[in-house]
Amino acid sequence: MNIKPLADRVLIEPAEAEQKTASGIIIPDTAKEKPQRGKVVAVGNGTKDHDMTVKVGDHVLYGKYSGTEVDIDGVKYMIMKESDIYAII
Protein backbone atom coordinates (compact mmCIF):
# COMPACT_ATOMS: atom_id res chain seq x y z
CA MET A 1 0.00 0.00 0.00
CA ASN A 2 1.33 3.39 -0.93
CA ILE A 3 -0.89 5.96 0.78
CA LYS A 4 0.23 8.93 2.87
CA PRO A 5 -2.38 10.91 4.86
CA LEU A 6 -2.02 14.69 4.74
CA ALA A 7 -1.52 17.08 7.67
CA ASP A 8 -2.89 15.70 10.96
CA ARG A 9 -4.79 12.75 9.50
CA VAL A 10 -4.30 9.09 10.38
CA LEU A 11 -5.16 5.91 8.44
CA ILE A 12 -6.45 3.14 10.72
CA GLU A 13 -7.22 -0.51 10.04
CA PRO A 14 -10.28 -1.25 12.25
CA ALA A 15 -10.23 -4.34 14.46
CA GLU A 16 -12.65 -7.15 13.67
CA ALA A 17 -16.11 -6.89 15.22
CA GLU A 18 -16.77 -9.26 18.11
CA GLN A 19 -18.09 -12.64 16.92
CA LYS A 20 -19.58 -13.71 20.26
CA THR A 21 -20.34 -12.32 23.69
CA ALA A 22 -18.35 -13.06 26.85
CA SER A 23 -20.94 -15.68 27.79
CA GLY A 24 -20.54 -17.46 24.43
CA ILE A 25 -23.62 -16.24 22.52
CA ILE A 26 -22.86 -15.83 18.81
CA ILE A 27 -23.68 -12.36 17.48
CA PRO A 28 -25.34 -12.26 14.03
CA ASP A 29 -23.92 -9.91 11.38
CA THR A 30 -26.93 -7.58 11.61
CA ALA A 31 -26.39 -6.99 15.35
CA LYS A 32 -22.62 -6.45 15.31
CA GLU A 33 -21.47 -3.02 16.39
CA LYS A 34 -18.94 -0.99 14.49
CA PRO A 35 -15.50 -1.48 16.09
CA GLN A 36 -14.03 1.47 17.99
CA ARG A 37 -10.44 0.29 18.03
CA GLY A 38 -7.83 -0.35 15.40
CA LYS A 39 -4.21 -0.29 14.33
CA VAL A 40 -2.52 2.80 12.86
CA VAL A 41 -1.32 2.02 9.32
CA ALA A 42 -0.15 5.46 8.14
CA VAL A 43 0.31 8.90 9.71
CA GLY A 44 0.50 12.39 8.21
CA ASN A 45 3.29 14.86 8.98
CA GLY A 46 1.19 17.00 11.33
CA THR A 47 0.68 20.75 11.08
CA LYS A 48 2.97 23.66 11.89
CA ASP A 49 1.20 24.06 15.26
CA HIS A 50 0.85 20.36 16.15
CA ASP A 51 3.25 17.41 15.99
CA MET A 52 1.76 13.95 15.62
CA THR A 53 1.49 11.86 18.79
CA VAL A 54 0.51 8.51 17.27
CA LYS A 55 2.84 6.47 15.09
CA VAL A 56 2.49 3.54 12.72
CA GLY A 57 1.79 0.32 14.59
CA ASP A 58 0.01 1.93 17.56
CA HIS A 59 -3.31 0.39 18.64
CA VAL A 60 -5.86 3.14 19.30
CA LEU A 61 -9.41 3.81 20.50
CA TYR A 62 -11.52 6.25 18.47
CA GLY A 63 -15.07 7.61 18.46
CA LYS A 64 -17.96 5.51 17.22
CA TYR A 65 -18.87 7.95 14.44
CA SER A 66 -15.36 9.34 13.81
CA GLY A 67 -13.60 9.44 10.48
CA THR A 68 -14.46 8.30 7.00
CA GLU A 69 -14.44 4.72 5.80
CA VAL A 70 -12.31 4.15 2.68
CA ASP A 71 -11.74 1.01 0.63
CA ILE A 72 -8.17 0.53 -0.62
CA ASP A 73 -7.34 -2.61 -2.61
CA GLY A 74 -10.38 -4.39 -1.16
CA VAL A 75 -9.47 -3.63 2.47
CA LYS A 76 -11.59 -1.24 4.55
CA TYR A 77 -9.76 1.48 6.48
CA MET A 78 -10.77 4.54 8.49
CA ILE A 79 -9.18 7.92 7.85
CA MET A 80 -9.59 10.56 10.55
CA LYS A 81 -7.95 13.51 12.24
CA GLU A 82 -5.67 12.70 15.14
CA SER A 83 -7.98 14.68 17.43
CA ASP A 84 -10.69 12.01 16.85
CA ILE A 85 -8.47 9.41 18.53
CA TYR A 86 -9.20 9.04 22.24
CA ALA A 87 -6.32 6.85 23.44
CA ILE A 88 -3.36 4.68 22.54
CA ILE A 89 -3.70 1.19 24.00
pTM of the model: 0.83
Beta bridge partners of 10: 43, 80
For 40-70, write each residue's pLDDT tens digit.
999 999 999 989 999 999 999 998 889 999 9
Q: In this predicted structure, what is the pLDDT of residue 22? A: 76
For residue 60, give the H/E element and its range: strand 59-62
Query: Which residues, at least 6 apart from 89, have a Cβ–Cβ distance to it below 8 Å?
Result: 37, 59, 60, 61
Query: Which residues, at least 6 apart from 6, have a Cβ–Cβ distance to it below 8 Å?
Result: 44, 45
Q: What ranges do the domains of the chain cover?
A: 9-18+26-88
The fold of the 9-18+26-88 domain, in CATH, is 10 Kd Chaperonin, Protein Cpn10; Chain O (2.30.33)
